[in-house]
Amino acid sequence: MLNERQKKILLAVTQSHIDLNIPIGSLLLIKRYPLNLSSATIRNAMASLEQMGYITQPHTSAGRVPTEKGYKFYVNSLLEDHPLSISDSMSYELSLRLKSTENDSNGVIKKAAKTLSLLSHNLAIAIPPKIEDMVLKHVKFIKYDKRKALSMLISDEGIVKNTFVELDKSYTQQELDKAAHYINSNFAGKQIKDVKEILSYQLIKDQEAYDRIVTSVLYLFNDYIIMDDDILSLNSFSGTSYLPDLVDSQQVKDILRAIEDKQFMLKLLNQLSGSKGIKVVVGLESIIPAMSKMSMVAATYNDDKRSGGAIGIIGPTCMNYKKLIPIVDHTAKALTRILSEN
């Protein structure tokens, strides 16, 4: 366990490292923070902190740099102590930028990612709500070919997803309408996961209760909403240009490659699932190998009523958490507000 002095020094070292991005020595530290301690005392404390794994030396005769453990301690103390407030001008700029001409939810979410990257000067990510959690508003099937229909799903949040589905035989538009109507009148207002459950249950139980056509289309619909991972293609990144600042060129390449990969998104999602509000992940290399020395600050958006997505930033571990955590927090809240207004 850390004593009061060690805590103070650890926080001071971390803050200095964030501000200056260089290893912090004992002399430099007392110059920046009037701790009323001599450099020798600081050095003793630093030696203990190093032994406990909170800080480390890049080489002998260099200052200390916080480790992942050190950063985690710093971030936790930040989240406990500070109210997540941002300046009025920032708040104003945020709502101004988000209140754009975009009128569909996908657009708003993308716009939020773009705004976040501009305000934070970091890579921003926006993850749409899981399709499972979305509330079905409307379904439509449109005949396209002899054996193909365009299936369209609108959620309560105003998110639209369309996919072409292969049909087992040729249906008329009227038949498709009938099936869609059945789905709409029975499932509108329900979460997709509930729709799934009820559908598969009913399809097994009372197959004979419905029209032959409705049954077939329901089967198709069932298949279609099961394969939901392509909703991930809706995710958006913005601000890749902010990446190359602090890391070497090979790592930038690796990160860019990772970002284009869907697996990456799934892993991030996984990391965020279940959490509410702001979440800081210090050190992403355990999730994505390319992202060593990088951290994520993310927050879920949408309230309890609606299915939540996540929005956040990815940047160097030595990012300015004090400034960025509130920005992410407020962006997520602003996004929630705008989506609920729609």
Partner DNA sequence: TTTAGCACTCTCTATCGGTGAGTGCTATTA
Partner DNA sequence: TAATAGCACTCACCGATAGAGAGTGCTAAA
70 contacts DNA (rule: CB under 7 A) = no
**Sequence-ordered alpha helix ranges (H) in 227-277:** 249-259, 262-272
**Binding segment (CB under 7 A) for DNA, from list 31-39, 129-137, 214-222, 289-297:** 31-39
Closer Cβ to a second copy, 276 or 305, answer by number = 305
* Shortest distance in whole angstroms from residue 53 CB to DNA: 14
| Residue 306 CA: distances (Å) to CA of 123, 158, 199, 296 | 26, 12, 22, 24
CB 324 within 8 A of CB 174: no
User: Binder to DNA among 11, 12, 37, 265 (CB under 7 A)?
Assistant: 37
* Shortest distance in whole angstroms from residue 29 CB to DNA: 8
CB atoms within 10 A of CB 81: 8
266 contacts DNA (rule: CB under 7 A) = no
59 contacts DNA (rule: CB under 7 A) = yes
Using CB under 7 A as the binding criterion, the count of chain residues that bind DNA stands at 26
Q: Rounded to whole angstroms, how far apart are CA atoms 211 and 32?
A: 78
Closer Cβ to DNA, 41 or 91, answer by number = 41
Closer Cβ to a second copy, 84 or 118, answer by number = 118
Of these partners, DNA, a second copy, none, which one is at the site of residue 39 (CB under 5 to 8 Å by kind)?
DNA
**Sequence-ordered alpha helix ranges (H) in 37-164:** 39-51, 68-81, 88-98, 105-120
CB 307 within 8 A of CB 129: yes
Of these partners, a second copy, DNA, none, which one is at the site of residue 252 (CB under 5 to 8 Å by kind)?
a second copy
Contacts to a second copy from residues 130-189, by CB under 8 A: 137-138, 140, 142, 144, 148, 150, 152, 154, 158, 160, 162-164, 166
Conformation bin of residue 217: beta by default, left when phi > 0, alpha when psi is -120 to 50: alpha
Of these partners, a second copy, DNA, none, which one is at the site of residue 221 (CB under 5 to 8 Å by kind)?
none
Q: Please give the backbone phi and psi of residue 192, each rounded to the nearest 5 degrees, phi first.
A: -55, -40
Strands, sheet with 278-282, edge to edge from the N-terminal-most edge strand? 236-238, 123-127, 310-316, 294-300, 278-282
Of these partners, a second copy, DNA, none, which one is at the site of residue 179 (CB under 5 to 8 Å by kind)?
none
Evaluate the CA torsion angle 211, 226, 224, 110 in order and state its sign. positive
316 contacts a second copy (rule: CB under 8 A) = no
Taking the chain, what is the end-to-end CA distance rounded to the nearest angstrom?
A: 50
Binding track, positions 225-244, relative to a second copy; x by CB under 8 A:
-------------xxxxxxx
**Sequence-ordered alpha helix ranges (H) in the chain:** 4-20, 26-32, 39-51, 68-81, 88-98, 105-120, 173-187, 192-205, 212-226, 249-259, 262-272, 321-341
Residue ranges binding a second copy (CB under 8 A): 103-104, 114, 137-138, 140, 142, 144, 148, 150, 152, 154, 158, 160, 162-164, 166, 238-244, 249, 252-254, 256-257, 259-260
Binding site for DNA (CB under 7 A): 5, 23-28, 36-41, 43-44, 46-47, 50, 57-64
